[in-house]
Structure 1
């Protein structure tokens, strides 16, 4: 009886070891760590919580040859400074730099975001595991404190619990407040109501209303680029002309014309450089009015919009 009981105790660890080996995976290539250099994002403080600050694509696409000798799982996880879910933006994880969170597309399942768990792989066969480029998307999650991202391993992609495929390591990057940003994120310009008799042919305009795009700037000499684009329902027929939004009841035969303060046409989708002398505020003067675009005008609502974009290298 004593020998039999000793034999059963010896068999238990052997059985556990055989199960561990049966569920193992091996790869033709060694696990890799990709060192990621993030940019220093210039953040517009008008971006709301949940707004996208920027992104980074990590070149990771490759085909891995994997042999799994049993049923196993593919997993991905965020680690270290990126392991804490945001309390303000669902699906986003904090980066360790206050006010900035991140979402990471999965290496094997790019349509999903990390973490991915319990994704079953076929047992007992050699297979090609296709990996994709990884997209990092950064979001505002709260009050941003300019600085550098904490460095270190932030994501890992693995088979089972121990067979690492790929790791991401942050080595540089950070965030700063843009040198210039819009003093107000939106501007309404009332163009008034006009009789058809105001217009006397294609190209004639109503009274032009003056307005300014105001920028608030840091006291540095970092240039910024400002560009304007049409939000019209159709493309702009000529520089500075924005088609109406086409909503129900819209007027026809007219559009909105925008010119610079000196009367020259506003060129859409063409950046102009500002903030080269350390100004703390900049005013961009513009004028807008209705312009006749067809031989016949029908009355109705005449609304449209344009977007201005501030970029900084």
Structure 2
């Protein structure tokens, strides 16, 4: 039974493309082929521009400096003093390396979009400078009073407040608690980041999910208000592996090219006749899943040239010069019906995927079909195939 008929949730994963190319030639060759050569002209131009200007030196703020430890606070002074101990100066910005109790996060790709898939408490952290050398503290010291600092997630924002793209399709990440104690109104010239910072993270489902992935890039940063200079980045100490609890698949070859053999107009017997079948495979790479789990993969094809096409004949692209022919894609011996969704009448190709199945090949065929008065020329037809699961 089709998933749509069962009213089960079906999510479409990123589409891939199928391109079929061929040519239909006249049998007669009385006229020599002409080749047109394109001409190219070149010119060179040079422009010299000398601009002299001066700005007040006050317009350029001196950068803040980075140190491994706090500067001694003079007796009776409310704040530490600039410039600090040169012996402890470090290249910046610093990086806060956070270490959760587990580097594997299991998620359920079948969960509804907008669901919190997992939470994670970061119980320990360390600090390194820009060269990766460990530091006892991450101190930033400026020559000017800094009115606070702020953190920002580095991914793109999503439709969910505080949730940002993680870099893995369909997975969002959110920092729930942030140990920011230096906010607007706290005027000082120096700030200190100590190891042992704790964070709480949430992983959200923000869209269709595929095979999971690995989180290894920085997820957030902290900058100071004074001159927007970065103080430190937040990164996982070791990569976080996102593992689906069910097997998931993605298309191994985003572009599948099929080259049909050349034919002559006289080879087509009548309207509706077909010929020139050519085998090809759409290959899926699959992984993940808890023991004994399985999932049902669905695939449907859409006519890229005519997306509203709901027939079993793929349209030719505008670049095609042949007429009177189309292309059919076969699932077994049955021509596939194209469509923009997996709903009927679109052909739904289904495969049951079990744990431990790394590769799934879906065999198909492409062929010519006569649609009218055939004239010689080139034939190009493009379909996009979309995989989903429920």
TM range (shorter): 0.3 to 0.5
* Structure of greater relative contact order (alpha carbons < 8 Å, 6+ residues apart): 2
* Structure holding more helix per residue: 1
- Structure 2 length-normalised TM: 0.39
- Structure 1 length-normalised TM: 0.47
